[in-house]
């Protein structure tokens, strides 16, 4: 079978195993090129198969030589359907890690459930004893609450008033106005339940209770702030409320971790093309202007560059971990630089279907989007017959 990208709306229905493998290899090579990091040795990554979580796992393993357990929710290939990209990424990651003698095992299931938490704890107890870093990098539109059985759905809506601004369909390059009606209280509450800090806190409670956190262990979740143009729909919208909750939860978790001398942090990361961010209105237009600006200035980063810098220059630099006035680690510092934001704000005013090819990096956006699914990589023969069933070796 020759696997081609099949787009539907904000997702691609197919993924390429060899391309996903190439993506993982490229990220591994990048981390290796930056040298060793004196950091965590036993790492649990929740949301480990794509985006920032995958990059965190790769940096842990190939930067710090860490043993990793990865948790994710992905689908293997089935009759006439490819696996999801995170499946292929994880298979490739394990293969490369095992080749270098690094411990790597994965659990595929719903991280919000009690069962998966129990499975992970059993695995840690059996294989690693304890972990010294827990990365929490879930992005999900839904959460089945383990205590109530209620399925909560998150929304991406403004709060208080209707929001209208420019957006781009990155497939066609068409810039248009999008109008989003404000959220009601249920929308806000549900988004906080799905993307806020409750599940992170439940994970940490379970890990503390089971005594599987090493002395001085750290845990980290990821947040976003971003520019004024996306504020109404992002940071001051429903998802922003969830991020406020996530950030507040870090302080509560830190208190609970005092017993093991540990600490919880939130890292504010850069806006990047991932499956999660492509679905948010307005963000793709902002990202295409941001990419253009940051590439021109020579400070563009992808997930792996962000995570490698987070580990080497924030978490494990040998200095005290620097945080902002709200206790957050800032690795979005280059995105938020005044010269970058001023230029993006100026470009924003000019953005139209006609101007975007010149003032924005739509090509870079599309390339990154294709890359998420294993397409568009150099060194991959996309005309070759690709029939093999790809297994994640630790998942039986």
Looking at the annotation, which residues are catalytic? 234
Choose among Na ion, ligand NAI, none what residue 138 binds, the Cβ cut-off being 5 to 8 Å by kind.
ligand NAI
Among residues 2, 11, 66, 80, which one has the least CA distance to residue 373?
11
Task: Please spell the DSSP secondary structure of 193-211, one letter per residue.
Answer: HHHSSHHHHHHHHHHHHTT
Q: Retrieve residue 322's tokens.
A: 């620097």
Residue 47 counted as an annotated binding residue: yes
Closest CA to 307 of 64, 1, 14: 64
Distances (CA, A) of 317 to 62, 220, 320: 17, 16, 8
Asked if 155 touches ligand NAI (CB under 6 A), the answer is: no
138 by Cβ neighbours in 10 Å (0-12 / 13-18 / 19+) ranks as buried
133 binds, among ligand NAI, Na ion, none (CB under 5 to 8 A by kind): none
Structure tokens at 40: 């965590």
> Can you tell me which of 51, 227, 240, 374 binds Na ion, judged by CB under 5 A?
51
Q: Look at phi and psi of residue 143 and say left if phi exceeds 0, alpha if psi is from -120 to 50, else beta.
A: beta
User: Using the rule CB under 6 A, is 50 a contact of ligand NAI?
Assistant: yes
Our finding on whether 47 is near Na ion (CB under 5 A) is yes
The site for ligand NAI, by CB under 6 A, has a size of 29
Cβ 284 vs Cβ 265: under 8 Å: no
Stretch that binds Na ion, among 48-56, 201-209, 237-245, 330-338 (CB under 5 A): 48-56
The values of phi and psi at residue 215, to 5°, are -60, 130
52 binds ligand NAI (CB under 6 A): yes
C-alpha to C-alpha distance for 219 and 315, rounded to whole angstroms: 11
265 binds ligand NAI (CB under 6 A): no
Of 40-48, 120-128, 140-148, 356-364: span binding Na ion (CB under 5 A): 40-48
Q: Which does 249 bind (CB under 5 to 8 A by kind): Na ion, ligand NAI, none?
A: none
273 is in an annotated binding site: yes
State the minimum distance, in angstroms, from the CB of residue 136 to Na ion: 10
The tokens of 35 are what?
């040298």
Q: Residue 227, interface with Na ion (CB under 5 A)?
A: no
Rounded Cα–Cα distance for residues 40 and 217 (Å): 9
Strands (E) located in the chain:
7-8, 11-12, 42-46, 67-72, 104-108, 131-136, 142-144, 151-153, 163-169, 174-180, 213-223, 263-268, 329-330
Output the smallest distance, CB 74 to Na ion, in A. Answer: 12
Binder of ligand NAI out of 276, 285, 310, 362 (CB under 6 A): 276
Contacting ligand NAI within 77-136 (CB under 6 A)? 86, 110-112
**How far is Cα 133 from Cα 48, in angstroms, rounded to an integer?**
13
Q: Is 74 one of the annotated binding-site residues?
A: yes
Q: Is 93 one of the binding residues for Na ion (CB under 5 A)?
A: no
Q: Is 243 annotated as a binding residue?
A: yes
Decide the pairing of beta strands 131-136 and 151-153: unpaired
Q: Does 19 bind Na ion (CB under 5 A)?
A: no
Nearer Cβ to Na ion, position 89 or 230? 89
Q: Is 86 in the site for Na ion (CB under 5 A)?
A: no
Rounded to the nearest whole angstrom, what is the least distance from the CB of residue 318 to ligand NAI in the complex?
26
Is 20 an interacting residue with respect to ligand NAI (CB under 6 A)? no
Closest CA to 269 of 84, 56, 97: 56
Residue choice 170, 224, 291, 311 for contact with ligand NAI (CB under 6 A): 224
Looking at beta carbons only, is 47 or 197 nearer to Na ion? 47
Stretch that binds ligand NAI, among 9-17, 41-49, 153-161, 251-259 (CB under 6 A): 41-49
- Residue numbers belonging to the annotated binding site for NAD(+): 47-52, 73-74, 110-111, 138-139, 243, 272-274
Binding site for Na ion (CB under 5 A): 47, 51-53, 137
Binding site for ligand NAI (CB under 6 A): 47-53, 71-74, 86, 110-112, 137-140, 222-224, 269, 271-272, 274-277
């Amino acid at each position: 079978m020759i696997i081609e990208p099949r787009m539907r709306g904000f997702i691609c229905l197919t993924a390429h195993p060899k391309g996903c493998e190439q993506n993982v290899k490229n990220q591994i090579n990048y981390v290796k090129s930056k040298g060793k990091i004196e950091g965590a040795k036993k790492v649990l990554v929740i949301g480990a198969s794509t985006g920032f979580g995958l990059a965190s796992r790769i940096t842990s393993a190939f930067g710090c030589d860490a043993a990793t357990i990865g948790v994710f929710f992905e689908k293997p290939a089935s009759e006439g359907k490819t696996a999801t990209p995170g499946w292929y990424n994880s298979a490739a990651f394990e293969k490369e890690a095992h080749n270098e003698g690094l411990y790597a095992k994965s659990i595929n299931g719903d991280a919000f459930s009690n069962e998966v938490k129990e499975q992970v704890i059993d695995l840690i107890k059996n294989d690693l004893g304890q972990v010294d870093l827990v990365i929490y990098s879930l992005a999900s539109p839904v959460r089945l609450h383990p205590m109530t059985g209620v399925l909560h759905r998150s929304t991406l809506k403004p709060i208080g008033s209707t929001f209208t601004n420019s957006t781009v369909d990155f497939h066609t390059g068409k810039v248009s106005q999008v109008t989003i009606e404000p959220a009601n209280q249920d929308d806000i509450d549900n988004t906080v339940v799905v993307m806020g800090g409750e599940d992170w806190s439940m994970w940490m409670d379970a890990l503390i209770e089971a005594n599987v956190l090493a002395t001085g262990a750290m845990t980290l979740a990821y947040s976003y702030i971003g520019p004024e143009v996306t504020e109404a729909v992002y940071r001051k919208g429903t998802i922003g409320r969830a991020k406020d909750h996530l950030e507040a939860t870090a302080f509560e978790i830190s208190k609970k971790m005092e017993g093991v001398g540990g600490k919880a942090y939130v890292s504010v990361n850069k806006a990047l093309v991932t499956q999660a961010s492509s679905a948010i209105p307005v963000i793709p237009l902002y990202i295409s202007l941001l990419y253009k600006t940051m590439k021109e200035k020579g400070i563009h980063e992808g997930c792996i560059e962000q995570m490698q810098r987070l580990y080497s220059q924030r978490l494990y630099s040998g200095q005290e971990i620097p945080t902002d006035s709200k206790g957050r680690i800032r690795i979005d510092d280059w995105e938020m630089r005044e010269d970058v934001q001023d230029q993006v704000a100026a470009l924003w005013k000019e953005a139209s279907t006609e101007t975007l090819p010149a003032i924005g990096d739509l090509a870079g956006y599309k390339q990154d989007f294709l890359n998420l699914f294993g397409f568009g990589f150099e060194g991959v023969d996309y005309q070759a017959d690709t029939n093999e069933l790809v297994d994640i070796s630790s998942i039986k």
